[in-house]
Amino acid sequence: MKLQQLIHPERVFLGLSAADARSALSEIADRIAGDLGLPAENIRQALLEREELGSTGVGHGFAIPHCKLHGISEIQLIVAKFPGGIEFHAVDGQPVTLMFVVLSPPDQPAAHLQVLSQIARILKREELRKELLAAETSDALVAAVRHAAEVEGL
């Protein structure tokens, strides 16, 4: 599964605000539940359970919350931008501004890991991180992700 195929403007949420990681994940779950045809509580609970195992805040203002979720048949990617930053217990202690949320069917573990790996590769490059953070519209953020994936050969 290629990252470029998973990113869509209607799954990019900009200008969000939240007090903490829990409320940020709740906000994302509320926004996508109807689209996925699942209760927001199921999505929220799955993301929070994974987060309890250890923070998915990878540093430099980014997090990659992810979980396996019953009730979906294909991987879903949601991108959420919190311009004010939120405390997410990231590895570098910095607030998180941009989240790549990956929801995967439980029967697709290899594809799940592949998507996480692609996101991590993109986030290793400072110039690509800056491009992602500078995007001010959903279309611009989608274009930045697609550009980053091309640069990385993904």
pLDDT at 22: 93
State the architecture of 3-151 in CATH terms: 3-Layer(aba) Sandwich (3.40)
Among residues 66, 70, 112, 147, the one annotated as catalytic is 66
- Domain borders along the chain are 3-151
Any catalytic annotation for residue 70?
A: no
pLDDT digits (tens, 9 = 90+) for 19-28: 899 999 999 9
pLDDT digits (tens, 9 = 90+) for 133-145: 999 999 999 998 8
Q: Which tokens in the block code for residue 76? A: 């879903």
| pLDDT at 94 exceeding the cut of 80 | yes
* DSSP result, 106-153: TT-HHHHHHHHHHHHHHHT-HHHHHHHHH--SHHHHHHHHHHHHHHTT
User: Can you tell me which residue has the tokens 């009730």?
Assistant: 71
Length of the chain: 154
Q: Whole-model pTM? A: 0.94
Q: Which tokens in the block code for residue 16? A: 């969000």
